[in-house]
Structure 1
């Protein structure tokens, strides 16, 4: 297996990341208490102490006292944004990140940015600035907290349009409450220090009432105290100190797709705050025995889940036919101590029967507190839609029509039997029709069919006939029997049908995930996995999908379905945000929502592997299609990460092999090239310095040494060049019809001078079939094999060069009488730099000859093998098999 580098040290990685800036919030109970004024006063003191303070954005609202504090301060220019023909000035987040001051003042934390800004909310701008390591001071009114919006609405009668999630305030490092009494604030209002006179008069009569301000003041002080207490508890936990906090409290909020869902989420957050930031979870129970909710209900449920995540809660979807049992099972498994549910005004019958959710939970709860939240406007809980979808209505009326048709067929059959036979129980026929209606279309069509069946049966077949009068008490029993059958079969059939549809949807989702998993597993590389992911996600979402992967320090679109589209600047900015921050961006998110794509990071097991974009509005929030698409994206992220790791492993193995080859090559070059060069240099120097004084035989011996070492050096260089060609895939095959005997003779002539006292014998047949090959490559391969045989054969021994053929190939055999090759080394003899023995002068070559011969032979579609020993535990035979284009008939051999 390829070696892998150890994972990076988390402490070193954390040290490389910029330190998060500190956030200080100046909190007030309402506008006009002096939050901005106090923030500027503190900033001027910081600047006087030598701090790097910059005003990012401050709203003075024309107040002279506030504007006077801005003199001498560095104020950043705002960025103009064109919106509906008007140019609006907004906070320039990019300029702030480029300037990167020590402290940045950003007024009005809850402000909504102009459409077209990077983030829809200013608090999101502040989060990005804090992530860059910049300290931020900001201002906030308590009524803008998301969890308090319902309470503020009931107190003041005004719904706040701008809201900040409580988690944003909880994450503040410092909170300074700017507090004045309600009477003093109303005095400032009357003096025109808050609003212009006419606006101030209207405000004092509405929002700025004494009772309203008193309630808001209490909420501001409580919220600040709660945040400070949270910070204290966090410090105590970090130090391992015990404190008086209710660590065991856990809250579960049950929501549905109704109008009260958002209020329940906010109530759960407030309850969590009162219980010292207890963990809280928002849950929805899916019931397979109930029809799937419409798009409006799914949208409300999705919005409730998004609100819960913004407020710092967890979300989960439970499944079960019995809501109470599913909730209590989860509560017992997760140590839930508080359950929050909603209650409308239209469930009196359920309450009387003891079948309401509240009654069921109260009966089953043991050690769990139940909190019931009511909707002030009496919005019905559990009825999010007044009208069924068009398709559902059409199916509904179709059930009634088919039920009536069944009764008509039953009536015709009953009339026929009544006239043909005597004493026929015709009621069974109508019961069968009612049963069929219930099985096919559920409860209501079955009840309608039962009523029509009784009326028709009573009118046509019961005495007095052709009258709806009930002549006998048994007729009433007949009606009750019809209704009982309809009720039982309809409810059971409806439940079975709904469960079957739910099972079918889940089976379809599982099948889609299985098919996607198989396709992703079969992908050979990241690009293939990206294409499969785009195709599968587009099929699941029914919309355009695009996958972006990191390339050269940026992310680039690499795959799309149904085709790869070019993304605009805004879409690419959202995609880069999702890649860099690991957060969703684009349409329907808090970052660049004006784009036409929704981008989600593809988070693998160890790291992000890419980004996937889905066309805007393609997936209904909370729908089965959205869940399937998200599951596919999770699978795709893992597949992309796996493909990347596989590619890295291959690259690592290639580098390892290249490094091993490089090391062996340098080891060989360091000696095998230096030795002949030293010999040539020494002999040449001797001839130059002492040539006239040397005897003729000595000079001749030196010249022969120079020639032999130069030839040896030439062979080494040739071997290295040939191996480089093989390794680089630059081998050029020039095939031609060739008589192998000619190539054998040419190779024998080339090595004849190096035979010494050894004998080279040739054994060729009189005729030999022609084969298509590269004559030069075959000759060089034979020369390498012959030189290897010469190097490892003792003086006076014989080397046999033979050729023969069989039906499908021409075979060349080179056999020597050397010491042979150990059996364990036979499969390794053709490896690069492989020597059967090491000698101090390495006179027997660099270990490349047989490797090059194998490469040349296999490049011509031939095969090469070694056999040893041959005779008396000695000798080696190298066999080369060259394929014929057309097999020879056995009678011609």
Structure 2
């Protein structure tokens, strides 16, 4: 017998071009979306296009039904649900038909249970992926993002919804619009609903104020989609922005007193521009000065205020503020920029070096709004790329020491050699001061070096007077070079510090991510989160998680410090409200800890606390700590969900096993017992009165049912041994041909009208297995093959070997196993059919066979169909002790 032929690998087909989607959008039912779609479809049909109606809901409207004449309408697919048949859109039929244009009404429709997709918009996605153009209809109240808004407007909860992303992917949107008065008139004329329903709808959903609000939503959504498509199309064509098809506002703030007023001004400007999208941004310069506590706090408060007022926030990075702002404006199609104007010096304004002047110079197609106020702004931090002026008295002392050392070396060289360029020595001193301590010490060192060099080495010596015009130029160049050198050296030093800080933050996040990724329980995740947060904040950190509906302290670092009553109250507030509480917040600020909710992907996972005043608002340390908390929240939630999933899966399997076991006991055991009891009772009561052939038939029934009962009990006992790990393997050298013959004899009486053939080679290698377990496994497989084979068919037993294993094959000519069931055919209590007489067993035979074979280090698999769409082959591979050389096979 030849081994089974493996399926050939097919080359994947080239991907089809996605079809185009057009949505007919309306404010409510009855505006004429379906009517307009059918009218347009009839025009396309008249032009010669292949137009097919997949599904259209006419709702009994005569005008709509008349438009279906002449169009090909697909039959709907029946789906059985709760003792009735529902007719749904035939997705497979539409893909097979492949029209040029398919009409699919009611984009938000929920399909009947049992359909391939729960929503019709998902059916449309599959059709589009198949390369078919689709037209569909949608009411604006069915958009997912507007569900709460529509509920407040109409007091009606929409049960069917479409995600906004599905509408955003539409290639075309046609707005079908009529006035609320016209719609109510159509409603009264019975063109929308039947009269009784129309009266109820007119008094509830179809109020003038409701329809007006829904109409505004539809108009806005259509305009927004059109604007998004315009921006995408212009970006694809490389047309430089901004494009003033729709207003977008950018508010530029710093950490000063004008930050909050600027945010409010941006909100007011958005309101005046029909609720235009607006973004609040701050430019963070890597080489610039770090924010002080007050500046960082104002910046943080302004960003939070922007989010509360409905704006979006973004922090940009770049030393060139104007370029960073303009690049963001062009990439996001910003048309309005709002910023504040501080008290610039006359010289700065005359030179055009203020931020407002520079933006006005570089802006193209963008309106600039400059907000002025009497507050003395710290706008210097925005205007120019300044450096952090660090070093203190130690930096100045080192700078002076460098100049002194350079002076000593210059005096020595001046006495030793006749012509020496001593200016280079002083430049080295300035460079050293800048590299070690930044700009201020470098500037101070440059000034001292300039005066010292003039006093000691230029004529007239020992005087600050300048004797030669050439010396004046030399000194000016020297001072300029000294200042430039100190500036660049200090800037490189600051950039190196910034890069080091960011690298440290990235390393900390990476380390936390690696530790949190492999966490299996939420307690360990909480402990790691507390340790990482404490290290980032440089202070104590705690993590509280819900345990039995009560917030409980589960981890702390460096120690698990108990929390007092005020701290616990703040922690519970953060947990219940999802808002920060404790020190530095507006809720329970007297607490010694600041608590923040751990917001996971689905819900809050717990609360984290950091000791009071450990982090400055807006500082890099606070950003790192918040990033760690976000990462830890997801890790805690993931660990919690993993634990729940394991518990749920265990309960599900236990419940399934218990239910199947009770089903087996209640039917598979009770039926043979009833037969045995009935036959034996008949024999006892009517023994001598029965004819011999009747008595023989009853005795045969008793024997068959007793054997059947014995098999069921044996299967249950074998499964119990497998599940409980009590299987005892007694391996010995075995010839599988002998085992196959023994198994065949055990099932011979059950063959009936079937035949059993054997295909064994003359010689076969021995294998080390438990003969009793292997025989029982083969018996189970054979009984299964006999039960599912028709009379007159053949069951074939075969054995052969390859280099590393001996293979047993049992093949029948039954109806076969569905391809989808092949992977589950060895599951417990798995039947391919549910016969009423229960003669086909409890569904344990193949599961037991699989357990026995794998316990002997073997493998088992099923293949079906094997010939003419029928038949099943069960293959058992048993490993050889020694691999056979190919020449000996």
- What is the alpha-carbon distance in structure 2 between the residues aligned to residue 248 and residue 866 of structure 1? 64
What does residue 472 of structure 2 align with? Answer: 476
Aligned match of 1:599 in 592, 595, 601? 595
- What is the alpha-carbon distance in structure 2 between the residues aligned to residue 521 and residue 841 of structure 1? 52
What does residue 374 of structure 1 align with? Answer: 374
1:56-96 CA distance string (max 9 Å, x none): xxxxxxxxxxxxxxxxxxxxxxxxxxxxxxxxxxxxxxxxx
Go from structure 1 to structure 2 and tell me whether the alpha carbon gap of 1:476 and 1:591 turns closer, same or farther (over 3 Å shift). same
1:254 aligns with 2:253: yes
Q: CA-atom RMSD, angstroms?
A: 6.0
1:650 is displaced (CA, Å) by 6.8
What does residue 612 of structure 1 align with? Answer: 608
What does residue 291 of structure 1 align with? Answer: 289
1:706-761 CA distance string (max 9 Å, x none): 132122123223324543664xx4232456x6556699999999996754499999
Go from structure 1 to structure 2 and tell me whether the alpha carbon gap of 1:883 and 1:288 turns closer, same or farther (over 3 Å shift). same
Within 5 Å, give how 1:687-726 maps onto structure 2: 687-695=683-691, 698-723=694-719, 726=722
Three-state SS of the structure 1 residue aligned to 2:536 is: helix
Go from structure 1 to structure 2 and tell me whether the alpha carbon gap of 1:532 and 1:234 turns closer, same or farther (over 3 Å shift). farther
What does residue 181 of structure 1 align with? Answer: none
- What is the alpha-carbon distance in structure 2 between the residues aligned to residue 566 and residue 696 of structure 1? 88
What does residue 730 of structure 1 align with? Answer: 724
Q: Name which of structure 1's ranges 640-649 and 759-768 shifts more when overlaid on structure 2.
A: 759-768
Go from structure 1 to structure 2 and tell me whether the alpha carbon gap of 1:778 and 1:443 turns closer, same or farther (over 3 Å shift). same
- What is the alpha-carbon distance in structure 1 between the residues aligned to residue 747 and residue 509 of structure 2? 69
Go from structure 1 to structure 2 and tell me whether the alpha carbon gap of 1:844 and 1:356 turns closer, same or farther (over 3 Å shift). closer
1:626 is displaced (CA, Å) by 1.0
Q: Name which of structure 1's ranges 528-537 and 687-696 shifts more when overlaid on structure 2.
A: 528-537
CA contact (8 A) 1:786 1:814 kept: no
TM-score (ref. length: structure 2) = 0.56
- What is the alpha-carbon distance in structure 2 between the residues aligned to residue 408 and residue 234 of structure 1? 84
1:249 is displaced (CA, Å) by 11
CA contact (8 A) 2:767 2:879 kept: no
1:700 is displaced (CA, Å) by 4.5
1:660-684 CA distance string (max 9 Å, x none): 8788778877865565345324423
TM-score (ref. length: structure 1) = 0.56
CA contact (8 A) 2:266 2:338 kept: no
1:491 aligns with 2:462: no
1:587-637 CA distance string (max 9 Å, x none): 322333333332323334454344333333222111111112222333344
Go from structure 1 to structure 2 and tell me whether the alpha carbon gap of 1:321 and 1:865 turns closer, same or farther (over 3 Å shift). closer
Three-state SS of the structure 2 residue aligned to 1:694 is: coil
Q: Flag structure 2 segments of 5+ consecutive residues without an equivalent.
A: 1-115, 123-141, 154-208, 220-245, 885-889
1:474 is displaced (CA, Å) by 2.7
CA contact (8 A) 1:864 1:879 kept: yes
Aligned match of 1:397 in 393, 396, 399? 393
Go from structure 1 to structure 2 and tell me whether the alpha carbon gap of 1:604 and 1:747 turns closer, same or farther (over 3 Å shift). same
What does residue 538 of structure 1 align with? Answer: 534
Aligned match of 1:425 in 413, 421, 430? 421
- What is the alpha-carbon distance in structure 2 between the residues aligned to residue 563 and residue 547 of structure 1? 12
Go from structure 1 to structure 2 and tell me whether the alpha carbon gap of 1:502 and 1:800 turns closer, same or farther (over 3 Å shift). closer
Three-state SS of the structure 2 residue aligned to 1:614 is: strand
1:265 aligns with 2:260: yes
1:330-371 CA distance string (max 9 Å, x none): 77854446544454xx95664565545566567778744433
What does residue 434 of structure 1 align with? Answer: 430
1:587 aligns with 2:583: yes
Three-state SS of the structure 2 residue aligned to 1:598 is: strand
- What is the alpha-carbon distance in structure 1 between the residues aligned to residue 798 and residue 326 of structure 2? 89
1:373 is displaced (CA, Å) by 1.6
Three-state SS of the structure 2 residue aligned to 1:492 is: helix
1:575 is displaced (CA, Å) by 3.3
Within 5 Å, give how 1:748-827 maps onto structure 2: 755-756=748-749, 781=777, 784=780
Three-state SS of the structure 2 residue aligned to 1:600 is: strand
CA contact (8 A) 1:439 1:489 kept: no
Go from structure 1 to structure 2 and tell me whether the alpha carbon gap of 1:460 and 1:534 turns closer, same or farther (over 3 Å shift). same
Go from structure 1 to structure 2 and tell me whether the alpha carbon gap of 1:532 and 1:744 turns closer, same or farther (over 3 Å shift). farther
Three-state SS of the structure 2 residue aligned to 1:370 is: strand
1:687 is displaced (CA, Å) by 1.8
Go from structure 1 to structure 2 and tell me whether the alpha carbon gap of 1:826 and 1:594 turns closer, same or farther (over 3 Å shift). closer
Q: Name which of structure 1's ranges 464-473 and 593-602 shifts more when overlaid on structure 2.
A: 464-473
Go from structure 1 to structure 2 and tell me whether the alpha carbon gap of 1:839 and 1:325 turns closer, same or farther (over 3 Å shift). closer
Go from structure 1 to structure 2 and tell me whether the alpha carbon gap of 1:596 and 1:763 turns closer, same or farther (over 3 Å shift). farther
Go from structure 1 to structure 2 and tell me whether the alpha carbon gap of 1:276 and 1:750 turns closer, same or farther (over 3 Å shift). closer
CA contact (8 A) 2:283 2:324 kept: yes
What does residue 577 of structure 1 align with? Answer: 573
Within 5 Å, give how 1:163-174 maps onto structure 2: none
Go from structure 1 to structure 2 and tell me whether the alpha carbon gap of 1:817 and 1:865 turns closer, same or farther (over 3 Å shift). closer
1:849 is displaced (CA, Å) by 1.6
CA contact (8 A) 1:583 1:600 kept: yes
Three-state SS of the structure 2 residue aligned to 1:693 is: coil
Go from structure 1 to structure 2 and tell me whether the alpha carbon gap of 1:651 and 1:486 turns closer, same or farther (over 3 Å shift). same
Within 5 Å, give how 1:583-662 maps onto structure 2: 583-640=579-636
Go from structure 1 to structure 2 and tell me whether the alpha carbon gap of 1:856 and 1:410 turns closer, same or farther (over 3 Å shift). same
Which structure has the larger Rg over C-alpha atoms?
A: 1
1:704 is displaced (CA, Å) by 3.6
Within 5 Å, give how 1:77-476 maps onto structure 2: 240=216, 252=251, 254-257=253-256, 260=257, 265=260, 269=264, 284-302=282-300, 317-323=315-321, 334-336=334-336, 339-343=339-343, 350=348, 355-356=353-354, 367-375=367-375, 395-465=391-461, 469-476=465-472
CA contact (8 A) 1:441 1:490 kept: no
Three-state SS of the structure 1 residue aligned to 2:291 is: coil
- What is the alpha-carbon distance in structure 2 between the residues aligned to residue 757 and residue 328 of structure 1? 86
1:269 is displaced (CA, Å) by 4.5
Three-state SS of the structure 2 residue aligned to 1:715 is: helix
Go from structure 1 to structure 2 and tell me whether the alpha carbon gap of 1:880 and 1:785 turns closer, same or farther (over 3 Å shift). farther
- What is the alpha-carbon distance in structure 1 between the residues aligned to residue 425 and residue 311 of structure 2? 58
Go from structure 1 to structure 2 and tell me whether the alpha carbon gap of 1:706 and 1:313 turns closer, same or farther (over 3 Å shift). closer
- What is the alpha-carbon distance in structure 1 between the residues aligned to residue 735 and residue 533 of structure 2? 64
- What is the alpha-carbon distance in structure 2 between the residues aligned to residue 357 and residue 797 of structure 1? 92
- What is the alpha-carbon distance in structure 1 between the residues aligned to residue 764 and residue 268 of structure 2? 103
- What is the alpha-carbon distance in structure 2 between the residues aligned to residue 290 and residue 877 of structure 1? 73
Aligned match of 1:683 in 679, 685, 696? 679
1:850 aligns with 2:861: no
CA contact (8 A) 1:255 1:282 kept: no
- What is the alpha-carbon distance in structure 2 between the residues aligned to residue 655 and residue 849 of structure 1? 24
- What is the alpha-carbon distance in structure 2 between the residues aligned to residue 843 and residue 836 of structure 1? 13
1:516-546 CA distance string (max 9 Å, x none): 4455444456566555544443332233334
CA contact (8 A) 2:743 2:779 kept: yes
- What is the alpha-carbon distance in structure 2 between the residues aligned to residue 272 and residue 829 of structure 1? 64
1:866 is displaced (CA, Å) by 7.4
CA contact (8 A) 2:598 2:608 kept: yes
Go from structure 1 to structure 2 and tell me whether the alpha carbon gap of 1:431 and 1:321 turns closer, same or farther (over 3 Å shift). same
Go from structure 1 to structure 2 and tell me whether the alpha carbon gap of 1:863 and 1:500 turns closer, same or farther (over 3 Å shift). same
Three-state SS of the structure 2 residue aligned to 1:601 is: strand
1:418 is displaced (CA, Å) by 3.4
Go from structure 1 to structure 2 and tell me whether the alpha carbon gap of 1:790 and 1:18 turns closer, same or farther (over 3 Å shift). same
- What is the alpha-carbon distance in structure 1 between the residues aligned to residue 287 and residue 407 of structure 2? 33
Go from structure 1 to structure 2 and tell me whether the alpha carbon gap of 1:440 and 1:662 turns closer, same or farther (over 3 Å shift). same
CA contact (8 A) 1:741 1:764 kept: no
